[in-house]
Homo-oligomer: A and B are copies of this chain.
Amino acid sequence: MPRSEPGSSRRPLADHSRSHASRGAGRRYTDGMSTTTVVDPAAETAQHRLARAKEASRSIARLNSGEKERALEAIAGAIESNAADIVAANRVDIARGREAGIGDALIDRLRLDDKRVAALASAVRDVAALPDPIGQVLGGHRMPNGVALEQVRVPFGVVGAIYEARPNVTVDIAALALRAGNAVVLRGGSAARESNTILVEVMRGALGGVGVDPEAIQTVDDFGREGARALMQGRGFIDVLVPRGSAALIETVVTESTVPVIETGAGVVHIVLDESAPVEWARDIVVNAKVQRPSVCNAVETVLVLRQAAPLLVPVVANALQSEGVAIHGDDVVAGLVSNVIPATDEDWATEHLSLDISMKVVDTLDDALAHIRRYSTGHTESIITNDSRNAERFLAEVDSAVVMANASTRFTDGAEFGFGAEVGISTQKLHTRGPMGVSELTSTKWLARGAGQTRG
């Protein structure tokens, strides 16, 4: 089993250290006459952690499947045996969050209790049980001149993640990254600092215990905004960066990054109720998509109802939602059919509520519904409820989102539901991967060419 070289794992790459120190990793003293910079070679920067992750990624890439399974099993075991400390650290985060007035939906995402810690460990074991994608031969052929070409799956190298205060993401992404032979650099939301610190410590300890370089898991949480900036600008060290969280966080990462980004998550998710929508499907699917877990990205935010069916469907669906405590932001037609409707503003159509709020609008035609979706969708998930297979197929073909559904709840857009094990996120971009991302989506490929002296004519 590979082991990090003694004494080397804590040292940054020599070149990088030099260039960085000369840019002022040390402290600066002013003596009134001149300014002297005293370089402290021991001062650790976020870039050093990136460099150590890159260095570690080489040995991680060479682990075989069994070695990676043992490393993940060690992580799962260590999470279980440190459960009490993890929950205690999380309590500190929760208390600080309550003091800071964080809303219930965010507190729910932040919370770790015994059951959720057990679920974390179990998710790691699920990832360990997934097939190893590395080394898979994706294709190949012999060139006419006899050179043998082969395309194989390889790790990315170093996966970066920037996310909000959800400690389960810390473990999920580290486990998925490792399964795919990658090192990982994590930057979680500051509200989950205590939880993330102990989780990273526990995971690194577990790796060291089975002879895997613990430098393969890094956090830059303690560098604040500078840590996030180092990730976003980490060309040469970060091979892919995955932001997970609010639209604002994702926008920042996409705009400021010079490393390749996989855009995830923000979901202004639509359900269209077609003229032929069976009433019970419409009611049950909308209620499930809004109420089952309102704080996540695959929850529905806007319901579009075809005008001809509105008198039948709007009261049934709206009453069912209201009896579950959902506030309806509706247009005039909706307000004319149901009581207690908050008048919808233009902003509502573009809003990811992530709460027990829903926007509801009546449209004249399926064309109008499609146009509304084109304008306001974030490309995550949309579903149509219909009994008309022509409309269903048109919707499936024309809606340009990661997941397009007919007659199913948008809550199914999820790595576990799709059978991928734990999930890195839901990609809403078109490059590399689209929709729920599992282990295979954290890999790249390379081409191998084996010849016998061939030259190009």
| Set of chain B residues within 8 Å of A280, measured between Cβ atoms | 453
Q: How far is the CA of A434 from the CA of B451 in the complex (A)?
A: 20
Is the interface on chain A under 10, 10 to 19, 20 to 34, or 35 or more residues? Answer: 35 or more
Chain A positions near chain B (C-beta within 8 angstroms): 15, 62, 141, 143, 147, 149, 151, 154, 156-157, 235, 239-240, 254-255, 258, 260-263, 278, 280-281, 284-285, 287-289, 292, 375, 383, 392, 396-397, 400-409, 411-413, 417-419, 429-435, 444-456
B258 near A258 (CB under 8 angstroms)? no
Closest beta carbon of chain B to A7's beta carbon, Å? 18
Which residues from B are CB-within-8-Å of A400?
A: 154, 157, 446
Interchain CB contact under 8 A, B141 and A419? yes
With contacts A408-B454, A433-B445 known, what are 5 further pairs, Cβ within 8 A?
Answer: A143-B417, A260-B261, A281-B452, A402-B447, A403-B449
Contact A453 B278, beta carbon cutoff 8 Å: yes
Can you show 30 pairs from A to B with CB atoms below 8 A apart?
A141-B419, A143-B412, A147-B412, A157-B400, A235-B254, A240-B431, A254-B258, A255-B258, A260-B260, A281-B452, A284-B453, A285-B453, A288-B455, A288-B456, A383-B449, A396-B448, A401-B446, A404-B448, A405-B449, A405-B450, A408-B454, A409-B451, A409-B455, A409-B456, A411-B456, A412-B456, A418-B447, A430-B444, A432-B432, A435-B447
Copies in the complex: 2
Is the beta-carbon distance between A406 and B450 smaller than 8 angstroms? yes
Q: Nearest B residue to A431 by beta-carbon distance?
A: B260
Q: Is the CB of A431 within 8 A of B444?
A: yes
| Pair A454/B260 contact, Cβ less than 8 Å | no
Q: Are A455 and B285 in contact (CB under 8 A)?
A: yes
* A434 surroundings in chain B (CB, below 8 A): 444-447
Query: Known interface pairs A260-B431, A431-B260, A431-B431. Does A407 touch B450 (Cβ–Cβ under 8 Å)?
Result: yes
Question: Given the complex, which residues of B lie within 8 Å of A392, measured CB to CB?
Answer: 450
Inter-chain CA distance A454–B444, complex, in Å, is: 35
A316 to chain B minimum Cβ distance, whole angstroms, is: 14
A37 to B292 alpha-carbon distance, docked (Å): 52
Bound-state CA distance A450–B385 (Å) is: 10
CB closest residue in chain B, given A445? B434
Cβ-defined contact, A408 with B147, below 8 A:
yes
Tell me, rounded to whole Å, the shortest Cβ–Cβ distance linking A380 to chain B. Answer: 11
Determine the chain B residues whose CB is within 8 A of the CB of A261 once the complex forms.
260
CA distance A285 to B147 in the complex (A): 13
Measured CA separation A258–B381 after assembly (Å)? 23
Q: A407 contacts which chain B residues (CB < 8 A)? A: 450-454
Residues of chain B lying within 8 A (CB to CB) of residue A260:
260-261, 263, 429-431
Within the complex, what minimum Cβ distance (angstroms) separates A137 from chain B?
13
Q: With the chains together, A404 CA to B444 CA distance in Å? A: 14
Contact (A403, B447) CB under 8 Å given A431-B432, A455-B411: yes
Contact A405 B240 (CB under 8 A): no
Please name all residues of chain B whose beta carbon is closer than 8 Å to the beta carbon of A292 when the two chains form the complex. Answer: 455-456
Report the minimum CB–CB distance from A111 to chain B (whole Å).
Answer: 21
A449 to B151, CA, bound (A): 30
Q: Are A446 and B435 in contact (CB under 8 A)?
A: yes
Nearest neighbor of A448 in chain B, beta-carbon distance = B396
Bound complex: CA A403 to CA B448 (Å): 6
Q: Which residues of B contact A445 (CB under 8 A)?
A: 433-435
- Asked if B449 and A404 sit within 8 Å, CB to CB, the answer is yes
A149 to B408, CA, bound (A): 11
Residues of B within 8 A of A15 (CB): 375
Most buried by B among A285, A383, A444: A444
Nearest Cβ on chain B to A297's Cβ, whole angstroms: 14
Chain B residues in 8 Å Cβ range of A432: 431-432
Q: Are A446 and B408 in contact (CB under 8 A)?
A: no
Select one of B281, B413, B430 contacting A157, CB under 8 A: B430
